[in-house]
Amino acid sequence: MKVCMFTGIFKGRPLEEAAKAAAEIGYDGLELQARSHIPPESTREDISRIKDVVRSHGLEVPVIYSNLSGGYARGTAEESRKKADLIERYAEWASEIGASMICHSPGGPAPDQAEAADYERAADWISRVAEALSRYRVRLIMEIHHGGLVETVDSSLRLMSLIPKDNVGLILDPGNMEIAGDDYGANAVKRLGHHLFHVHSKDVLFFDSKPADQPTGQYKGRIFAVGLMGHGSVDHRPAYEALIKNGYTGYVSLEAQPAGEDPQRIALHEYTMFKQSAQL
């Protein structure tokens, strides 16, 4: 397994700073967050500069994280087309930078609120986007995330069964799956099988009541916050062991962004904990 750093850790900081830190710590690559380092209004000059920065530090870019949820299940055709067109623009940039995957999810509703037609409409649009991405030899990956159609292993596989494209896959995200209350260990890795293209890693803390000094989220009555690896309740080791056993050679992206923490400290801490957990 290779390890990359999610550049959102360095949000508000230059990409050069993020790349330098990642290279010095020992990361193999960067997952470029669109919101932080490759926004929709980027120019060709910007893309060329990003490519130069990454290469000058000996790093790869396996994924561009689009920060764009499709909303395909219940959006209008016009809304869906605009988002699909933007993802195709990112595919062109990904091809130039050397990124082989773009993270773009279909959006909600959550499985317990979804109807069969929601899955069908989302699958149709994801298939259209995947067809466009195939022209650039770029794959589309959907992050398993609470609150969306791809919230659990079951719902993710249900949607995948409706998408007849081999360049569409899933991101195993134990932190998000813990929030959703779903299994994310060895059995999840086994069930996702060949649909598993990428992995996200972060820890999550849960609280009985909202803390006064920490930003939190809430889902299905549970209050949570992202924390430094080892400070929360997510045990990534079973998933890592299963990935290694199954011969997974892709990337694990370390994406924790705890509020108030120094980016350099986050990047080093997460890398160290990953190496320990994965026994690499």
| Model confidence pLDDT, tens digit, residues 12-69 | 999 999 999 999 999 999 999 999 999 999 999 999 999 999 999 999 999 999 999 9
Amino acid letter, 48:
S
What is residue 13's DSSP assignment?
S
Report pLDDT for 213. 85
DSSP-based three-state secondary structure for 270: helix
Tokens of 205: 């803390």
CB 62 within 8 A of CB 138: no
Q: Which residues lie below 8 Å from residue 181, measured CB to CB, with a gap of 6+?
A: 220
Quick one: pLDDT band at residue 279, thresholds 50, 70, 90?
confident
Report pLDDT for 212. 85
Query: Which percentage of the chain shows pLDDT scores above 90?
Result: 96
CB atoms within 10 A of CB 67: 15
Phi and psi at 206, nearest 5°, equal: -120, 150
Set out the domains of the chain in order of their start, with CATH numbers: 2-203+234-278 (3.20.20.150)
Report pLDDT for 189. 98
Q: Which residues lie below 8 Å from residue 127, measured CB to CB, with a gap of 6+?
A: 163, 164, 165, 168
Tokens of 36: 């932080």
| Model confidence pLDDT, tens digit, residues 165-223 | 999 999 999 999 999 999 999 999 999 999 999 999 999 999 999 998 889 999 999 99
Average pLDDT in the chain: 96
In the block, which residue shows the tokens 């893309």?
47
Beta bridge partners of 196: 170
Question: What secondary structure does DSSP assign to 200-240, as a single string?
Answer: EE-EEEEESS--TTS--EEETTEEEEEE-TTSSS---HHHH
CB 201 within 8 A of CB 228: no
Is pTM beyond 0.85 here?
Answer: yes
Quick one: pLDDT band at residue 280, thresholds 50, 70, 90?
low
| Model confidence pLDDT, tens digit, residues 131-143 | 999 999 999 999 9
Where helices occur in the chain by DSSP H, the ranges are 15-25, 34-37, 44-56, 77-97, 116-134, 153-160, 174-180, 186-192, 237-245, 263-278
Does 84 have pLDDT greater than 90? yes
Residues 134-159, mean pLDDT to the nearest whole number = 98
